[in-house]
Chain A
C-alpha cells in the first residue's frame, strides 16, 4: 500500500509548550484519528504538517516527496478542513467556490453537487448565514470535491449534530474504501470507534502512541488501563491531575 503521509520526529517549541518528536505514517485507504485532550498538540501537529507553522526539527513527506520542495503539487492532492473557520463571510458560497475550483486540476463538479446535497448546503447563502456545524460542512465539501488522496481534518465532527456526525463518519468509510487516506483530529473518541484504523495519541506535546487502534486498545485492556479509547484517555489524563495535586 502506498505511503501517503510520513511524519518523522517533528518538533515545535513555544515559550510555554513544546511539541516533541511526533512521528506517524498514513497509508492509502486508511483512517487515522489524532487524539489528545485540549491543548495536547493536535492542532499544532496539523499546522506543522500543512506548513502553516515552522517546525524546529523533523521531516514531513507526502507521497514520498518533501512538502517544502513540492508544496503546490502536494496541496493539489490533499484536502484540509479546519472546523468552523469562516472565509469571506459576506460572499455567496457560489462565488467563493467559483474562484476556488480554478485552483484544483482535479475539481469534480459532480462530487461537489453531491456533497452540497448530502450536507443540505445552499450555494446562495453566505458563510455568515451558516451555523457553526454548517460551516464545518462547507469546509468539508470543498475538501472533498477536488479528488484529494489525503484529507486532513481538524476537529471535523465538533459542532455537528449526531445525525450529521454519523453521516460524515459513513462518508469517511466510503472514501477510505476508494483509497483516500484520512487524518482527523478529535477529542470525541466514540467517533473513532466507528471508523478509525489507527490512532496517534498525543499527550502534553509528546507522542503517547501511534499505530493500530485495535492493538492499542487490546494492549491497554491487558494492562488494566481501560476497555475503550475514552477510558484509556481518561486514565492517562487523570494521572496528570493526581500528580498535580499530590
Chain B
C-alpha cells in the first residue's frame, strides 16, 4: 500500500470526526424548495472543520509527521481527506440535481421557487464554496498547523458573502437563466459547471502546494 493510501486510511480511522461524515447528509438539502440550498456546502465544510478540531485535540499532526513519511505528506493527507468528503457531497448533490432536472423540472414548487434551484449553476456554486474552503481554511491552517480560528472565520465571512451573492444573482434579469429548472440540454449551464470544476481543481492544487511550503517552515 502506498503512503498516500495509508495516510488517507489514518485520516479516516483515527483523525476524522464522525460529524465530517454526518454533515454529508446536508447534500439532501438539494431537494428543498424555498431555501438557500447552497448553505449545505458550508455545512459539509463545517463537518471537515470538526475533523481538524478533533485532530488538534489528539496531536494528529505531530503523530503523522513522526510516521515514516515526508513532513509535507501530512498536508497532502488532509487535502485528500477534505477532497474526498467534498466529492462525496458533490456526487450526492449531482445525482439529486439530475433527478430534479429530469423528473421534477416542471414541478410547481421548483418552477416558482424564489430561492436557488438545483441545476448545473448550483453544482458550480458548490464547487466554488469548496474551493474557498480549501484556499482560505486549509491553506490558512497550515501557516501554523495549530491555529484554525482565523482561517475558519475568514472562510465563514467570504463563503456567506458568496452564498448571498449567488442567491441575488439569479434575480438580476440578465442572469435569470441561472435559476432555470429545465436546463438538462443547456450547454451554457454545462459550461458554467465545467468552468467551476476547473476553478476548484486549480484552487485546490495551488493552495495545497502553498500549504505544503508553509507547513514545511512550521516548527512543531
B65 — which chain A residues lie within 8 A by C-beta?
A: 51-52
* A74 to chain B: closest residue by CB: B68
| A171 CB-CB contact with B under 8 Å | no
| A163 CB-CB contact with B under 8 Å | no
| A234 CB-CB contact with B under 8 Å | no
- A contact residues vs B (CB 8 Å cutoff): 47, 50-54, 71-73, 75-76, 80, 85-91, 95-96, 98-100, 102-104
Complex CA gap A50/B219 in Å reads 11
Within the complex, the shortest CB–CB distance from B213 to chain A, in Å, comes to: 13
Complex CA gap A87/B63 in Å reads 7
Complex CA gap A98/B12 in Å reads 13
Q: Which of A47, A95, A96 has a CB less than 8 Å from the CB of B220?
A: A47
Within the complex, the shortest CB–CB distance from B204 to chain A, in Å, comes to: 24
Is A104's CB under 8 angstroms from B68's CB? yes
Complex CA gap A100/B58 in Å reads 15
Is B69's CB under 8 angstroms from A72's CB? yes
Is B70's CB under 8 angstroms from A72's CB? yes
Complex CA gap A73/B69 in Å reads 8
Is A76's CB under 8 angstroms from B68's CB? yes
| B217 CB-CB contact with A under 8 Å | yes
Is A75's CB under 8 angstroms from B69's CB? yes
Within the complex, the shortest CB–CB distance from A85 to chain B, in Å, comes to: 6
* B57 to chain A: closest residue by CB: A89
Is A88's CB under 8 angstroms from B6's CB? no
Contact-residue bracket for chain B: 20 to 34
* A103 to chain B: closest residue by CB: B67
A-B contacts at CB below 8 angstroms, number: 66
B70 — which chain A residues lie within 8 A by C-beta?
A: 71-72
Q: Which of B6, B13, B15, B57 has a CB less than 8 Å from the CB of A103?
A: B6
B67 — which chain A residues lie within 8 A by C-beta?
A: 75, 100, 103
Complex CA gap A86/B66 in Å reads 14
Complex CA gap A105/B6 in Å reads 12
Q: Counting chain B CB atoms within 10 Å of each CB, which of A47, A75, A104 scores highest?
A: A75
Complex CA gap A85/B66 in Å reads 13
Given A71-B71, A87-B63, A88-B63: A52 and B13 within 8 A (CB)? no
Complex CA gap A197/B15 in Å reads 40
Within the complex, the shortest CB–CB distance from B53 to chain A, in Å, comes to: 13
Complex CA gap A15/B3 in Å reads 37
Main DSSP-derived SS at the B contact region: helix
- B contact residues vs A (CB 8 Å cutoff): 1, 3, 6, 9-10, 13-15, 57-60, 62-63, 65-71, 73, 217, 219-220
Within the complex, the shortest CB–CB distance from B21 to chain A, in Å, comes to: 16
Complex CA gap A88/B12 in Å reads 12
B219 — which chain A residues lie within 8 A by C-beta?
A: 47, 52-54
> Nearest 6 A-B pairs (CB), nearest first?
A75-B68, A53-B219, A52-B220, A76-B68, A87-B63, A88-B58
Q: Counting chain B CB atoms within 10 Å of each CB, which of A53, A54, A85, A87 scores highest?
A: A87
A54 — which chain B residues lie within 8 A by C-beta?
A: 217, 219
A75 — which chain B residues lie within 8 A by C-beta?
A: 66-69
* B13 to chain A: closest residue by CB: A99
Given A52-B220, A53-B220, A103-B68: A85 and B59 within 8 A (CB)? yes
Complex CA gap A47/B3 in Å reads 23
A91 — which chain B residues lie within 8 A by C-beta?
A: 14, 58
Known: A47-B220, A52-B65, A87-B58. 8 other contacts (CB 8 A): A75-B67, A88-B14, A88-B60, A89-B57, A95-B14, A98-B13, A102-B1, A103-B3
* B73 to chain A: closest residue by CB: A72
Complex CA gap A80/B66 in Å reads 8
Given A52-B220, A99-B13: A89 and B68 within 8 A (CB)? no
Within the complex, the shortest CB–CB distance from B72 to chain A, in Å, comes to: 9
* A127 to chain B: closest residue by CB: B58
B59 — which chain A residues lie within 8 A by C-beta?
A: 85-87
Within the complex, the shortest CB–CB distance from B179 to chain A, in Å, comes to: 45
Is B220's CB under 8 angstroms from A103's CB? no
* A52 to chain B: closest residue by CB: B220
Within the complex, the shortest CB–CB distance from A242 to chain B, in Å, comes to: 34
